[in-house]
Chains A and B, each alone.
Chain A
Amino acid sequence: MDQNAAKIEIRHASKVFGREERLALDLLDKGLSKSEVQKRTGVVVGIHDISLNILAGEIFVIMGLSGSGKSTLLRLINRLHEASRGSILVDGVDVTKMKASELRALRRRAFGMVFQNFGLLPQRTVLGNVEFGLEIQGIPRSQRRERAQEVIETVGLQGYEQRYAAELSGGMQQRVGLARALAADPEILLMDEAFSALDPIIRSQLQDDLLEIQDRLNKTIVFVSHDLDEALKLGNRIAILRDGRLIQVGDPQEILSHPADEYVSTFVEGADRSKVLTARDVMQNVRTAANPKDSPRVVLRKMERSGFGGLMVIDNGRRLHGYIDLSAVRSQREKEQLSTDLFRPIPTADANAKLVDLIQIITDKGSPVAVIDARQRVIGVVDKSTILAALAQNDDGPTVEENHADPTPAVAMASVPASQAESSASGS
C-alpha cells in the first residue's frame, strides 16, 4: 500500500446538533464562535469546516479539550454521525453519499472501533465479544472462533476466553475491545479515548502494546485523546481542535516546537518534552574537535580558542575516536602526535534517541553524548546544558531553530571536506 496516499480525506466537514442547522452554519461561516452560535440559535456546534487528510498506515491523533469535537469528528468518519456539511472520503469514496447497505458493507470491511467505556456485551464471554463483528458479518461459527482465538492471542488475552467481560479489570476489558475491533482485520481503527478510563500504568502498557501491534499490522489508526503525552507518544501526526475548529495539524515535534497559538502552547506546556524531543532536535553542532592526526600543540590551541577543557577526537571520515581533556594533552605537549592511549571513551547515541534516555546516559557517565548517524559518523553533541535549555523552553527554542536553519554540522576541522559534512547532515 502506498504509504503516503490519503486513506481518509475530510473536506470542509461540519456537524452541528439542533434544528436551525442552516442558520448556525451561516453564522459559523461568518466567524462566530461556538458559544455565540449556541446563544443565538440554540444549536450546539460539534465541529465546523474541518479539512484534513489521514494517511494510510499512520497513527493520527485527534486532540483537544473535552467538548472540542474530537468524538464528533471521529464519528463522521464511519458515519455514526451524519455530516451537516462537507464530505468524508474513505479510499476516495464519499461516505456521506453512501446508501445504507453500502455503508454497512464499508463498516464491516474497513472499520474497527474502540470505545472509552469499552462497549462490551456484558452477557457474553470474552470469546463471544471478540467474535461479535464476525458474527455480524455472518461468518460461520467455526471459522469465526478460529479467527477470534488468533486475535485473542495478538492482544494477550489467552486463558481468558471463557470469562465474562464484566469480571475483567478495565485494562483487560479494553484488550477485549481492541481484539473485537481487530477481529475482522479492518484497514482502519477508530479509537475514541480508548485508554482514558484506565489508570496510568495500565494505560502506558496498552499504549506500548498498541504501538507494537501497529508495527506488525500497519493499520490506519485514528486515535482520539485529550492527553498530550499520549498524543505525542502514539501520534505520527496530531490534529488539535478547539471549540469545533481545527487549530493545528503536525507531527509531535512540530506541535511542540511551533505551537500554532496560545491554546496549543498552553497544551504543550504541560507535556513531558523529554519523551518527545530527540537527540536530533536538541543536539549542538560540533564546532571544535580534535583530529587524531593533530599534534598536541594544535589541539591545545583549539582548546584555548574554543574555551573548552576537552574535545572530541574525530577523524577526516568524521568517525569518533574518543574524548581528550586538557591535562592529557598538556602531558604530551612536546610530542609530534597524540597518543591514542589518551583518548577516553565517550558515550554515543542515535539521532532518534529520546531526551529522557540521553539524560540517563549523561547523569550516569558524567560526560556529554556524541550523536552519531547510521554509519557511525558524528553529527552532533548533547550535554547537560543543551538538555536543560531544551526542557526549559516553552516555544521555539534557539537550539532547535539553529539545527533547522543550519543543517550542516559545522565541525570545526579544517580537514573535513565541506561536501562530506553536507551529505552526512541529517536534518529533520
Chain B
Amino acid sequence: MRDVAVIGIGCTPFGEHWGTSFRDLFIQAGALALEDAGLSGEQIDAMYVGNMSAGRFIDQEHIGALIADYSGMATRHIPSTRVEAACASGGLSFRQAVIAVASGMEDVVVAAGVEKMTDVGTGTSVDTLAGAADREWEGFVGATFPGLYAMIATDYMHRYPLTREQLAQVAVKNHFNGARNPIAQFRQEITVETVLRSSLVADPLRLFDCSPITDGAAAVVVAPLERAREFTDRFVKVRASAQASDTISLHDRADISRLDATVAAGRWALKDAGLSHSDIDLVEVHDCFTIAEICAIEDLGFCRKGDAGRLTEEGVTALDGDLPVNTSGGLKACGHPVGATGIKQICEVVQQLRGEAGKRQVPDAVIGMTHNVGGTGATVAVHILEAI
C-alpha cells in the first residue's frame, strides 16, 4: 500500500444558498480544491462524491455522472462514483479516494461531498434525515433523528453525571469557533442561556443542541505521498483511514449511550497510525447534536465515559484547551450539509495542519483527527492526518 497525501482542499460557504444549485455548489468546491492543489482538470484520474439524499432533496439520482458532466470530466470519461452512508457519506467518499490511491489503482483523485437541503420544507427534510435510521422500525413509529439522539441523551444523563448546562456548553464552544470561521453558517457567539431558552425539539434536546439544515459542498484532492511535491509544498499526510459499522437501529445497540462503531474505528485508526491519544493535537467530531460530541470524545477514547461534560465545562475542548474539539464550529455552528460534512472535516484539519486557520488556529498543530458518523452510529469513519 502506498502512502497518501491531501494536496488540495476547497469548501463553499455553508448556509442557506437559495441562489445556488446542487451542481453549482459542487463546482465551486471542486474548483477551489483544484486551484489549491495547483492542478488542472486533465490531471484528475477519478472522483468520489459523498451525498446522502439528492433523490429526496432535489429529486436527482445518478450524482456521480451529473458531477462528472458539470465539472467537465464527462468528455474525458474518468470514473465518478457516488458514495452514500447518510451523514457519513463524505467521510466514506474520502476513504474511497484514499483506498484508490493507496492501492495503486489511481493517482490523483478528487473526494467530494455535497448536499442541497433547503429546496424542500422542514417537514420533508426531517423525514428524509429519519431515513438515516431504520425506516421500518424507527421512522414508522414516529422517531425523528433529533428524537433518537434525545433518547441517547436521556439514557446518558440517567447513568452519568452530565448536567443540562454542560450539554449547552458544547454548543457555546462550537459557536465560539464558528464565529472565527469564514465559511460557517452561524458566525455569532451564544451563551448557555441562549441554548436553555431555545425551544424543545425532543426532550431534553433544544433547538440550539441541534445542527442546522444546510446547503454546501466540499472537495479535497488526494495523491500518492511520493508525488505530492510535484503539485504543492502544502500537502498533508494521511496517517490512517478507518471505517466501522454497527446496528442500523439505536434500540439494537449493546449500549444506548456508546457508539461502538466510533470505539472500533477510533481504535483501528490509532493502531494503524501507531499513535496514542496524546499525539492528537485537535479533533473534528460529528456533533450533529450536543450529546453526540460528548459521546464522541469518550468513545474515541480521549477520556473515560461520563467525563466529557466536565472536560467541556473546564475548557479542555476549547480552542485554547489541551484538546481542541471542532475548531471549525462543528456541525452545530459551521453547518451540516450531510453529504459534505465529512469532507469539510478533512478541509478543516488540513487548514489547521498547514497553519492557515486564521483566528481559530491551534498553535503548532501537527496531527489531527476527523470523526464522521452516519445515522445514530451505524457507520463511522475516522481519519488521522499529519503535517509534513
- A and B form one complex: no
Residues of chain B touching chain A, judged by Cβ–Cβ distance below 8 Å, are: none
